[in-house]
Structure 1
Amino acid sequence: MEILRTLAHQPVNSKNNMCERSKAADLRSKKSEHHTHAHQELSRIVTDYKTGRCYCRGKLLGKGGFAKCYEFSDLVTGKVYAAKIIPHTRVSKPHQRAKIDKEIELHRGLHHKHIVHFYHNFEDKDNIYILLEYCSRRSLAHILKARKVLTEPEVRYYLRQIVGGLKYLHEQEILHRDLKLGNFFITELMELKLGDFGLAAKLEPVESRRRTICGTPNYLPPEVLNKQGHGRESDVWALGCVMYTMLLGRPPFETTNLKETYRCIREAHYCLPSSLSSTAQSLISSMLAKSPQHRPQLDNILSHDFFTQGFTPERLPVSCCVSSPNFQRSPARNFFRKAAAALFGGRREKERYYHTIKLSKEEEVHRLQSDLKKITISTPAATDTASVDSVLPLARRSTPPPASADEVRDSIHMIVRGALGASSSSSSSSTEGVEDGSMASVVDSVARVLRDCLEKMAEAESIPKKKGGSTSFLWVTKWVDYSNKYGFGYQLSDHSVGVLFNNGTHMSLLPDKKTVHYSAELGSCCVLSSAEAKESFQGQVTILKYFAHYMEENLMDGGNLSKGTDVSKPSLYLLQWLKSDRALMMLFNDGTFQVNFYHDHTKIILCREGKAHLLSYINEDRVSTTVCLSALLTNGCSAHLRERLHYAYNMLMQLCI
């Protein structure tokens, strides 16, 4: 191409120049013939001769230095893949082929919700084919190209998933080394998948690290440019560049020439516009710290104020690929805005109420926020890591008597005073398996069972064989944390819906949608018809129904565990819930104990059935296994489950502090 550009600027009246132009025309003709020939070589139908499977090549999805990526369809099953195709001519040298083989070996062993799934690889005389998970919404780079910039809620949504996938990689002692928007792929359901492991490598000790400078120039960290090698902190630096780029539409160190870009990177010199929120500026600054030792760990990123003090959507609409979302019109906001209108009347009355509270409670807000300090608990040794998670305990308050309509309204406004939730709330009159039905007794009973299990359980590689038959116990299939205004809502496996309000009272709407259970103190339960309840507790019933409607319309069930129930057993009532950076814990009046882990969506449910304790585990593929605890003690379980049980126990013990 450089020759052609030169020739194009030569005088046209020279014989030599005419000869050169003729040669250039021949070169162009040969180049065109080469491309046509190459296109013909890549057949429309590709056969894996080892398996006999045939694939139909579809549209081009993208291309890189060595490979092109096409849509591939299995002609028998119709399943669609993203096929990475590398011509043998591009990897003819031994070190080039070794690089591809290393990528295949590394990617094949990765299994995580936020990692592009590796399905299969094969080759023929012309090409190497790698079949990967198909992500129909392409990549974050394509989305940003259409959108220019993203909103902070979207950035939180994507970053949570990126951190989840990256944390898994780092736990496998793998560094990605090329984090950028083009390597974050988006599925049909707007879920993010981390892909392209061409530059990924195993983590090495500092003294043994390769000094290779590799990656995308705008995202390289100072230590790599200074030939000190890649570490986990290098991926965190790239993550800071990614966050900056999503929010501002350009990388932080982008300049007109590469030399200047590298100078800015080495000095960690970049601008943070005032248009960014203070929490976004703080998080970016921490990730783009010049010294690797000063950058946050992945767990600390998710516990930063940018995440804890900002709204993160559960799901993004597909329209976000091309236009900015309007979160004010999201289903949850619509439901709860209507609920607030039903509770507080017109705008003027509501504004006057909030203004009064704000003026009279300013000092109390500050005091309560100071009291709600994060408590750190160590991850058990079974995890082989030194990470810690922050757990935010709920404020414990005495439970009030049955509330009047005015008291209900006042209690809902407890958010203005900084309250997050209540530890003591409702309970059914039956507390089978719990000594005296008190909060302390429930916690102690469950803690004792978990402690005995962890201390006496045998070592094993897997979970014991599934327990036969259906289960009749109840468990939480959906939940909504709206404690910054009203309370914590959940749906049980029998489709009853409960809300633990911020004032400590509890209300349940039974599966018949006509009966309401109301509890104002531990051990008591008032059964009302929906009409009676609405008349007596209009505000809380309104909130309860909006929670129920929202979960039914917008959330999917949390697993495939049997939903059979024993109608003779009383419904569960939530006593207390607790959230950490890693999991949600829920404790119920009969000792049922459930922990949901966010990033891989695994769940642990401990309950009683008759005289036996049952443990159910729902894995990342939403497949459940239920065993008697006695069998678990005898046969043991995998380290994966044991680590989660340790974590669940540590969360439970926070209630005793």
Structure 2
Amino acid sequence: MDPACFSTTQRLSCHMMNPDLFKPSPDRAQTAPPPKPSRSKSEQIKPEPAQVVVDPKTGRSYFKGKLLGKGGFARCYEMTDLATNKMYAVKVIPQSRVSKPHQREKITNEIELHKTLQHKHVVKFSHHFEDQENIYIFLELCSRKSLAHIWKARHTLTDPEVRYYLRQIISGLKYLHNKGILHRDLKLGNFFVNENMELRLGDFGLAAKLETVEQRKKTICGTPNYLAPEVLNRQGHGIESDVWSLGCVMYTLLCGNPPFETLDLKETYRCIKEVRYTLPPSLSPPAQKLISAILQKNPTDRLTLDQILSHEFFTKGFTPDRLPPSSCMMVPELNPPSPAKKFFTKMAKSLFGRRKSKVEKNPSEEKDDISKLVSGIVKCSISRQMSYKTVGATEVTSPTGHQASSGPLDTQPEEESRKSASRSFKGTVASSTDACEDVLTPASVAESAMKVLSNCLSTMPAASKNPPCLSKPKPFIWVTKWVDYSNKYGFGYQLSNKNIGVLFNEGTHLSLCDQRRTVHYCLTNNKHFIFQAEALPEQLQSQKQIVELMANYMEQNLMEGGDLNCEDQPPPTSSPLLLQWVKTDHALVMLFNNGTLQVNFYTDHTKLILCKSSDSSYLLTYISRERVSSTYPLSVLSERGCSSELRHRLRYVVQLLQHHADA
């Protein structure tokens, strides 16, 4: 990548992994760049990479997914290795942009530098190759994007959160400095966050080797709001320049905007050179002191990274071990957990927990369960252990990717939810059923599915194609659409019989059935209530509104998941309940109380549905990437074999179930 070392009146960085490159953000001064010289037609038009990219040397194929970000120099895509299903973030650089020797040299230097880096808080470099059209750099995929995205959703973060992120940034930065490497472009958009809310320092397009004072690079490059005074004064880059940028990052996260941001770029530079900024009174005294000690004009007066970690801001303040995914969108609850909460949290981390013994409840406790319906506290039920490996507030990925953004649904006031949680559940007549002693749990459903699929694969002969499918399989119920809104409420889904269900974060379940005429409500102890919609108790109205919001969103924005005939469905009142859902790096897994297992693969939108037929034998339905469904008796697959495409997916599901059964 061209490191964009321009004059002070120009935009100074082209960050090719930051999706908000051309939007106002704390990473950029909010002023229009000067007109750029016209480019040739070949430079102006950047053709999309092929849907399947092949490494010309190894022959390995990669499926191109969604666009993660773009800049003036390159684009970044999600790509999946078709042989292993491993997903990467891939920088794609057109060959036309490296036609000159100095341009190719910069890309080569970036690759060679990044290849040498191995640290927990540095984006992992995997490999690279090129073809006639592009250069492809394969990097670790960080599914929760960057601190820039979190900043845009939150605007300001709490002191404990800032300590959490800064500790990881400093860890990665110390590693770089110890190797004699300056990053030179520290900003929110270059701090990436993975599935586990762990931070990774990335984008080394402007990185350089640390030189002596006399040999230091004196070009002005970086991002305007984060440039150190000595860089603007062309005194050269040292590790102190990275420390200055770190202080700007801290200020931005705590205050909501960079310390020297103005509407005019030249004025921003004057403020930086004069170290002219304001510390809001809302900042805690330790935070004010630390920022002041970092943003010193003289580089030698700034704190070192070790001194920053020894500052009272860190030593006298609480730093969480982990942050919940919901913190990407909302202020997290970070009180030290009680022993009971620690137990439940540990249990929830297991995808498919062991069966727990029943706990006796007195009538008053049973009655109180209903009052906790929208408390918002994630808990594990006794007979339905649930895990939440989620991505927080997700985005609409594609017409067939059934994830939704938080925006369209974010209309239910949290205060109302808290009020409804305190109301009692009285005076309403409803049909109900008690919890069954031998009710299916996620563990038992997963165990059965793993057993039958393992047996099928163990006896399956080699085959080049799938056997003939059933011409008219008996209809069954499956998930046609889904929406992950667990950052606030829960997981919603639409079944093939048009019933809508939501599994709420605190373990209760509410379904709109029979064309929304009846409401099914299930407590965490599996006690069921069925109401007529017009006779629904006031205490459940808040949850019903949330279900309706998700239902309307799915109806208006999401496509059906395949071509399975939804006519002649089983009776709507017999709809299965979702026991548990989980996201892996590659798929969404759903387990139901009728023994059904459904797995939706993200990259190509293929699906596997394992369910029992009327004679208790198993049927497997495969929905291809062309959205064409085929149903096979599992016994037929076991005897006649199947295509490598289907076999690969079956093995993945078995390995997934086995891995978490052993957890």
Structure with higher Rg: it is: 1
Which has the larger share of helix?
1
Q: So what's the TM-score if we normalise by structure 2? A: 0.48
